[in-house]
Amino acid sequence: MGDMIVVQDLVKNYGDFCAVNHVSFTVPEGRIFGFLGPNGAGKTTTIKMLTTVLDPTSGSLRVNGYDPTREQKQVRRSFGIVFQDPSLDDELTAYENMDLHGILYGVPHGERVKRIDMLVDFVGLGERKKDLVKTYSGGMKRRLEVARALLHTPRILFLDEPTIGLDPQTRNHIWGYIQQLSKEEGVTVFFTTHYMDEADRVANEVAVIDHGKIVAQGSPSELKERTKCANLEDAFIALTGHAIREEEANAIERMRMMGRAWRGGRR
């Protein structure tokens, strides 16, 4: 079994601001890897670079053995993703969203129909699959996105805060299935979350990132041992401090947005 994700010395700068600062880690095939950090720490930026939608400033990346900056098609075929923000077409039905995804990923018609039915049933949306997504609640949309990410049987799953806004029942249900996929089919999972109990329970390994740098890496129990904390949440706070990041991160985000608007949108 090889490494499905290899990140070496990854850097992403936005002007003077360093969002990701010399980050390195590897994720072996079939593992569930938790990428933890406060808001604005660089988690989503890292995922964007791994998933080919953002070019790194420097450093090297390998996803399923391919380079996301050059071999984009092979990389894109390798993973499924649940984004942090919504990414469904509200004006289409759940089934149409799934079908469009299947066609974009080249899933043959027969298999597509079978897998869509299986997956929408699995996330409990079977009876609502003909309804427009704009009539769905936030939790239902989230479940549909998880189902969609699995449609083309990817080798790697990127989950950027996948369980935000979900009730404990659904969270357990979805993580149960993902753990099963990882165990039985060797799917590699890379996820971010703010729920430390969740990370503690499902991750084989976690990395803690803060201010763009990895501050700790290891299994959840190793991190707890090292920080002498009883649970991962305390360990996380011991590693990253008590200061609240939201404001600072938002100010930077705002500045970036302003800059982008003024420079005509592209970086």
Partner 1 sequence: MKAIYILCVRQLKRYMRSPARIIGSLGQPILFLVALGFGLRGMFARAGQGNYINFLSPGIVSMAILFNAVFSGIEIIWDRQFGFLKETLVAPVSRLEIVFGRMLGGAIVAFVQGLIVFAICLLAGFRVVSSPYLPLGIFFMFMIALLFAGIGTVFGSVLQDMQGFPLIINFLIMPLFFFSGAIFAAAGLPSALKLLLRLNPLSYGVDGLRGALINQFAFGLTTDLVVVTVLTALLLAIGSYFFSKIQL
Residue ranges binding partner 1 (CB under 8 A): 48, 51-55, 73-74, 76-77, 79, 81, 83, 85-92, 96, 99-101, 103-106, 132, 260-261, 264-267
Whether residue 201 contacts residue 231, with contact meaning beta carbons closer than 8 Å, is answered with: no
The pair of structure tokens assigned to 263 is 């420079």
Q: Which is nearer to partner 1, 105 or 177 (CB)?
A: 105
Q: For partner 1, which is the closer residue by CB, 244 or 257?
A: 257
CB of 72 to partner 1, least distance (A): 8
- Judged by beta carbon, residue 110 or residue 264, the one nearer partner 1 is 264
Residue 226 vs 267, nearer CB to partner 1: 267
157 neighbors 188 (Cβ within 8 angstroms): yes
CB of 21 to partner 1, least distance (A): 20
Please tell me the distance from the alpha carbon of residue 25 to that of residue 204, in angstroms, as a whole number. 14
Nearest approach, Cβ of residue 219 and partner 1 (Å): 29
Q: For the chain, what is the HEC assignment?
A: CCEEEEEEEEEEEECCEEEEEEEEEEEECCCEEEEECCCCCCHHHHHHHHCCCCCCCEEEEEECCECCCCCHHHHHHHEEEECCCCCCCCCCEHHHHHHHHHHHCCCCHHHHHHHHHHHHHHCCCHHHCCCEHHHCCHHHHHHHHHHHHHCCCCCEEEEECCCCCCCHHHHHHHHHHHHHHHHHHCCEEEEECCCHHHHHHHCCEEEEEECCEEEEEECHHHHHHHHCCCCHHHHHHHHHCCCCCHHHHHHHHHHHHHHHHHCCCCC
Q: Which is nearer to partner 1, 96 or 248 (CB)?
A: 96
Shortest Cβ 243–partner 1 spacing (Å): 28
CB of 101: closest distance to partner 1 in angstroms?
Answer: 7
Name which of 105 and 122 has its Cβ closer to partner 1. 105
Give the shortest CB-52-to-partner 1 separation in angstroms.
7
The minimum distance between CB 259 and partner 1, in angstroms, equals: 11
| Nearest to partner 1 of 17, 201 (CB atom) | 17
